[in-house]
Amino acid sequence: MEKFDSLKPQDEVTVTIWGPEDSRLYQSTNKGYHSIEEAIQIALTNAALIVKPEDCVFEVTNQETFVSHKYRFNADGNLVLIM
> Which residues of 1-83 form beta strands (DSSP E)?
13-18, 24-30, 57-62, 67-73, 79-81
Residue range 37-76, pLDDT digits in tens: 999 999 999 999 888 999 999 999 999 988 999 999 998 9
Task: Give pTM, 2 decimals.
Answer: 0.89
Cα–Cα distance measured from residue 11 to residue 22, given in angstroms and rounded to the nearest whole number: 27
Residue range 5-31, pLDDT digits in tens: 678 899 999 999 999 888 999 999 999
Looking at residue 71, its pLDDT comes to 96
As beta bridge partners, residue 74 has: none
